[in-house]
Amino acid sequence: MGTTAKKEKYTYRDRELDWLRFNERVLQEAADKENPVLERLRFLAIFSSNLDEFFKVRISKLRQLKKVKRNIRKPLGLRPNKLLNTLLTEIDQQQQRFGNIFRGEILPELNENNIQLLSLEHYTEKQKFDLKEFFKQSVASKLTIIDSKDVSSDSLEEGALYIMARTKSSNKLLFVLVPTTEIGRFVEVPAEEGKQVYTYLEDVLKLNADLIFPEMEIAALFNIKISKDAELYLDDEWNGDWIELIYNSLSKRQKGQPTRLLYEQGMPKELQRKLRKRLELGKIDMLEGGRRHNFSDFMSLVDGINNAALKFKPFPPLKSLKFESAKSIFDLIAKKDRLLHFPYQDFRYIEDWLSEAATDAKVTTIHISLYRIAKKSRLTSALLEALDNGKQVTIFVEAKARFDEANNIRWGRRFEEKGAKVFYSFPNVKVHSKILHIERLEHGKPVGYAYIGTGNFNSKTAKVYCDHGLFTADEKITGDLAKVFRVLKREMLKPKLKRLLISPFNTRSSFENLIQREILNAENNKPASITAKMNSLEDKQMINCLYKASNAGVKIKLLIRGFCCLVPGIKGQSENIQVFSIVDRFLEHARVFHFHNNGEEELYMGSADWMTRNLDKRIEVITPILDEDIFAQLKDILNIQLNDNVKARIIGSESSNDYVKASPEGEKVRSQYEIYEYLKRF
């Protein structure tokens, strides 16, 4: 980018605060009475799960910054105490709204539909008898009880639900792990025909406190839950087998620094103090929650209730006419680039292609990067079959995919045992790209085929994540992708690229040049516009480029699901920038970038957001869209999303989350539904 004589003073949003704005959008969906009641309950579960991760990852970071000496923090503009207090205040307000939605709206509507969630104080005598029998037969043998003399923040499992009991005579504390992993959070209670009645496992335990503590008189029972830092606390010691270091240190996650102790509403202050002292926590670590913790468990309740009228109408994956009619997917790709859209279209076509490759005598090598591996899938089975059939299979496994490290490494070891060449993470770089390269011997010459996606090779997440996947045999793209895998195999340090944008090599500079070209066009009174869709926008250098483009007159529209540190609509900074966010039944996950280029439009898609980590600290792959039909298809989908006036919010300069409203005479456009209908043509 060009330099300027003076340094502009731009404003930015705080990442953590804007992340809360994103989670507020999830809460808006829980509050939306147009959504079916069980889906509203699911959104509350998603909100809760998101917030848990926020405490484990983002709040823990602020906690670490608090330890940095003030004379170091001050020049860097770091004020973790002030930000932490602001965040906790806003989280408390969101939690209040959460409780009002759950108790005041969702529970009554469930009751109206003959679905009842019973709490302990509402059990009938018959229900008490049934639940005592259930406890004796199915729960009692699965309990873990920790005495106060043995308890510490280290000994409590991260994210697990506990009941803390206080004895009447000795004021002793005892902790019972609620065995939701073995039994499930919700217990179905026998009910009259036509009704579904459930209760909470922790209430079943409280009902049976006399059996859990047969020789003690219990004075009080309270639910608690501890959240801990998600970091692994790995030493910066990269000698030897560092994958073993990661694997062995997974247990340390349970011993990470506490970031939040949630306790049940109504716990007396003296008992709070005793608990805090026992667990060696600070006052800021203690947060009063509602009566129920681990609300993410409600996801399983929603899934388990078979009532189609109370859920979104099904969107069965669409069949692709071309893939369905193809005798060989290799022949299909050789003729023309192909594009699939998940979850609208079926993920099994990727699995079909790998299954074909596994048995195709012409296939010689398969290279794939796996970021989040499903515990069991046709894709992994196809890779194992390819190994059985003598194919050379090279797999890059990201060992640092947060919360999936153990599963990824287990799969890596299994692939190694079957004869695959398995490469793991670089010490300071994550491999976030979703890429597959297959080489086939055709007419005596090796021919490359490639898949480049915006989402993981995971059939489970492909049912709910909105992503795109490109299949191509373009020689320049497949040649570039082969070089990426050479980098991953440590055979090449820096690839010379012809088509692809690869982080951390040329992605940042390529995007800056594309933006600069729009600036020059605008300055020369030519049409200039940028449309970019991503999960999050945080990198200040990229934001500054967009601010400069806005000031030059470039029209910019951003579709950003998560947090956005760019402030739109500010005169002299971003008056030509609009920011939209879509939160609906599926998770918007694709990254797509469109540049007007004075009518010679260019379109890119891939795995990278405009975040510093994606541009500089991860292996990411962005591909240009070269096929005219696919270009038009992807552009159409972008335009449908930009016209959403049902689930899109326009993000204002004050971080507002106002829904885009349809004009009285205009048609309602719910983009995810419109895209599903649109793709029926393909």
Give the ranges where 459-536 is alpha helix by DSSP (H): 475-488, 507-523
Q: How many CB atoms lie within 10 A of CB 536?
A: 19
Say if CB 481 and CB 435 are below 8 A apart. Answer: yes
Query: Smallest Cα–Cα separation from 38: which of 306, 326, 337, 369?
Result: 306
- Distances 138 to 21, 207, 215, 546 between C-alpha atoms, Å: 42, 14, 22, 60
Token duo for residue 319? 């069949």
* Structure-token pair, residue 95: 């939690």
CB atoms within 10 A of CB 231: 16
Paired residues of 279 in beta bridges: none
Spatial distance between the Cα atoms of 313 and 673, rounded to a whole number of angstroms: 11
Catalytic-labelled residue, pool 293, 341, 367, 432 = 432
Per DSSP, 667 falls in state: P
The residues that bridge with 353 in the sheet, in sequence order, are none
* Residue 432 is among the residues annotated as catalytic for this protein: yes
| CA separation for the pair 525, 519 (Å, rounded) | 10
CA distance 99 to 107: 11
- Residues in CB range of 155: below 8 A, 6 or more apart: 146
Binding residue per annotation — 23?
Answer: no
Mode of pairing for the β-strands spanning 115-118 and 196-200: parallel
List b or e across 58-95, with b for residues whose CB sees 16 or more CB atoms inside 10 angstroms.
Answer: bbbebbebeeeeeeebeeeebebeeebeebeebbeebb
CB 563 within 8 A of CB 22: yes
User: How far separated are the first and last CA of the chain, in Å rounded?
Assistant: 40
Largest alpha-carbon pair distance within the chain?
86
248 is in an annotated binding site: no
The response to whether 521 counts as a known ligand-binding position is no
How many other CB atoms are found less than 10 A from the CB of residue 445? 7
* 12 DSSP 8-state letter: B
Q: Is 402 annotated as a binding residue?
A: yes
The response to whether 372 counts as a known ligand-binding position is yes
DSSP-assigned letter for residue 182? H
Between CA 292 and CA 197 the distance in angstroms is: 17
Distance (Å, whole) CA 396 – CA 391: 16
Is there a cis peptide before residue 504, judged by omega within 30 degrees of 0? yes
Closest CA to 221 of 253, 278, 266, 180: 266
Our CA dihedral for 383, 389, 394, 399, rounded to 10 degrees, sits at 40
- Please check if 589 is assigned to a binding site: yes
Closest CA to 368 of 400, 333, 330, 412: 412
**Nearest Cα residue to 26 out of 1, 48, 5:** 48
Contact 434, 455 (CB under 8 A): yes
Buried b (16+ CB within 10 A) or exposed e, 616-639: ebbbbbbbbbbbeebbebbbebbe
CB atoms within 10 A of CB 672: 21
d(CA 521, CA 517): 6
**Structure tokens belonging to residue 336:** 């023309």
Length of the chain: 682
Nearest CA to 54 out of 260, 289, 264 is that of 260
Rounded CA-CA distance 238/243 in Å is 9
Q: d(Cα 332, Cα 144) in Å, to the nearest integer?
A: 57
Kind of pairing between the strands at 465-472 and 587-588: parallel
Residues annotated within the binding site are 50, 372, 402, 465, 561, 589
Residues annotated within the binding site for Mg(2+) are 372, 402
Residues annotated within the binding site for ATP are 50, 465, 561, 589
Residues identified as active-site = 432
